[in-house]
Chains A and B, each alone.
Chain A
Amino acid sequence: MSSRGNSVAKGWRAGLGSRALVSMTGEGAFVRLYGVVAAGGFRRYTTYRVATAAGVFTNTVFGVIVAYTYIALWDQRPNLGGYDQSQALTYVWVSQALLMTVNMFGGGFADELVERIRTGDIAIDLYRPADLQLWWLSADLGRALFHFLGRGAVPLAFGALFFDLALPTTPGTWLAFLLAVLLGVVVSFALRFLVALSAFWLLDGAGVSSLVSIAGLFFSGMLLPLNAFPGLLGEVARALPWSCLLQIPADVLMGHHHGTGLLGAYGFQLGWAALLLGAGRVLQSAAVRRVVVQGG
């Protein structure tokens, strides 16, 4: 059988060229492919400029509202969760800046993936010579970069201008923050990928997805820093993957983690990322097997 396949390749000049190159530039081609996917993920959001402007406005308004709520709260309970008032305000504006970047509400690509599974468009993704999880991860990283720049920078600058924030002055701390945000994005992606794949079995992922959205909103620390959660609830919340999304990047930015503590924070994020991405892979191969064998 294989000899027949070879003769096809030899006879078909045009096809031979492209296949010969595959083995030559394996890794480079891999990076380039997912680079293009990520660039596409970035660019598709740049096309919706009005939506972005409206989003920035909303984030800023909410930031102001939450900021005054926190001021009131920290007046009553100074040093709540170990933050002084300017740290609490920094937390507010970082959370507004990262809201879309790490997709704390859920949704985003996950809704799209669920829709593709429901309509059967997923078939197109499956016959592509690309990995489903890496494809969507790349696209989501591109989106996150856009949201970080487009939706994050302005609210944070606004907060820094009109409120007294505890922002770092050393570039090293900012870089450390960026890495923590990147890892937060990956953990957030891995979570939502798992949720989206459940649509292969449930067909309608809306229930699971809204459940996870609410959990994400609460356990990411979007409402109140996880440091301020009391007792057991706080310990549990800080151990869950959602703490990678906002709490850890915010603490890294405010210099709460140094040296081995910083490595520990990264390790915690990496651990969750690896665990959830791994679970995603297992679920993905089960889902593909289900589709391929049973026809969905």
Chain B
Amino acid sequence: MTDLVELDGVEKVFDVRRKTGRWRREKQQVRAVDGISFRVPRGEMVGYIGPNGAGKSTTIKMLTGILTPSAGRLRVAGLDPSRERTRMAQRIGVVFGQRTTLWWDLPLYDSYRLAHRMYRIPDARFRENLDRCVELLDLASLLDVPVRQLSLGQRMRGDIAAALLHDPDVLYLDEPTIGLDVISKAKVRQFLRDLNAERATTILLTTHDLTDIEQLCRRVMVIDHGRLMYDGALTGLHEAGESERTLVVDLERELPPVRAEGARVVKVEGPRQWLAFPASASAAPLVAHIAAEYPLVDLSVREPDIEAVIARMYEGPRVH
């Protein structure tokens, strides 16, 4: 399979001047991205997550060619982004949730007319893509509305359409669902799923909303302090994060905390008790043990919250 995005040991170091005295300024180096390597094959949807300041945006900026790496090798669709920025712009689509590419004072359609000319899209292709976006993103009634009058969700859908009219091979989405309500989020996610399935568009998704990741991406990369902490399947995150599942048992009556190997009671509320056990372990022997030793009425197993998993990962030991 072809790798559309390739990073080998990519670094980005910024010089930051810091005031250390009245007149003195000290030059400091900040390693925003500190040796990241990964590959994204065509048609994959990848989540790229990390806390604020982890280096996500810096990575996206390097991938779009508006920042050059300080070291390492970077290719998008076979091109060196910062050297061949204009050529590469034809191959990528970018949506920044917090910024807009649309013409603020003008009707939405004017921005699409602009994209038509800017990306030199053949007329038939432009019509076809626009019709498709208008239909799937529910834009028909918005085309004549000035962008400044659109709601956040409408504007975001408008921005996504603007990024796709030229059939980009790679789509970067930076917080595409930020500030959207539940219905708008669902619309955007469904659209991205369809796009990925029909056009095999490679999608790199940056988000703080882990539901986006859970619903869209099979693969997730976690970045912190400019380093890749995890790269793999979403399910594998649990093991990497040493996450725990929770077994909730309802007993016949109030009893002292249950004793079972490989699990510990984290909460007791009347006859109900909560036991935590490693997510990688099977629940079966634990359930069998409790059923044999205690008057068990009911039970349920709760999967770990991915948010908690990642939070634990961020809090993990750091190299300074």
Contact = CB atoms under 8 A, between A and B. Distances in A.
Nearest to B81: A127
A18 B14 contact: no
B99 A127 contact: no
Contacts of A292: 65-68, 82
B86 A8 contact: no
A47 B105 contact: yes
Interface string A7-47: 11001101101110110010001001101110010011001
A232 interface: no
A49 interface: no
Max chain A CB contacts within 10 Å: which of B2, B65, B146?
Answer: B2
A2 B77 CA distance: 10
A235 interface: no
Contacts of A4: 2, 78
Interface stretch (B117-125, B179-187, B230-238, B252-260): B117-125
A12 B42 CA distance: 10
A19 B87 CA distance: 10
B264 interface: no
A17 B166 CA distance: 10
B14 A295 contact: yes
Contacts of A120: 99
B122 A7 contact: no
Nearest to B167: A14
A37 B14 CA distance: 35
Interface in B100-117: 100-101, 103-106, 110, 113-114, 116-117
Interface string A101-124: 000000000000000000011011
A15 B125 CA distance: 10
Interface footprint category on A: 35 or more
Interface residues of B, number: 53
Contact of B125 (A17, A126, A127): A17
Contacts of A8: 2, 4, 42, 77-78, 169
Interface of chain A: mostly helix, strand, loop or mixed: helix
Nearest to B110: A40
Interface stretch (B89-97, B220-228, B273-281, B309-317): B89-97
Interface in B69-84: 75, 77-79, 82
Max chain A CB contacts within 10 Å: which of B4, B58, B99?
Answer: B99
Max chain B CB contacts within 10 Å: which of A4, A127, A130?
Answer: A127
Given A126-B66, A127-B94, A18 B119 contact: yes
Contacts of B75: 1
A260 interface: no
Interface string A278-296: 0000000000000111110
B117 A29 contact: yes
22 contacts: A1-B78, A2-B78, A4-B2, A4-B78, A5-B77, A11-B2, A18-B90, A18-B120, A18-B167, A33-B114, A33-B118, A36-B118, A37-B114, A43-B106, A44-B105, A121-B99, A123-B66, A124-B99, A126-B85, A127-B92, A130-B118, A295-B61
Interface of B: 2, 4, 12, 14-15, 32, 42, 58, 61, 64-68, 75, 77-79, 82, 85-87, 89-92, 94, 96, 99-101, 103-106, 110, 113-114, 116-122, 125, 146, 166-169, 199-200
